[in-house]
Amino acid sequence: MADVVITLRIMPESPETDLKAIEDKARPFITEYGGEVGKVEIQPIAFGLKALNLIFVSNEDIGSTDRLEQNISSIEGVNSVEVTDVRRAIG
């Protein structure tokens, strides 16, 4: 079927958490899920806390991201993980 573009927001436990280390550990989980990271954004939240947004493309036939979110949540320094956007890729 079609490809979807998924935005995954990863919230660290504290402002001192190394977001690059979390990104490096999350990428293999996304690849295992069948996705390919296309863009990484650091989003300021409040009081020095920043969220890590990983934007990746995946096949919509794969289905739910629940397992992916659980795997990334198990990374040391990660407080929460949520899908904030899903869009069908056009073209």
**What pLDDT sits at residue 71?**
96
Query: Mean pLDDT in the chain?
Result: 94
What's the whole-model pTM score?
0.91
Is pLDDT above 80 for 5?
A: yes
Per residue in 35-45, pLDDT (tens digit) is 999 999 999 99
Give the largest Cα separation in the chain, rounded.
Answer: 42
Angular region, 65: left φ>0, alpha ψ -120 to 50, beta rest: alpha
Residue 66, domain CATH: 3.30.70.60
Domains contained in the chain, number = 1
Show the domain range for 24: 3-88
**Strand 78-88's sheet: what is its strand order?**
36-46, 49-59, 3-12, 78-88
d(CA 84, CA 66): 13
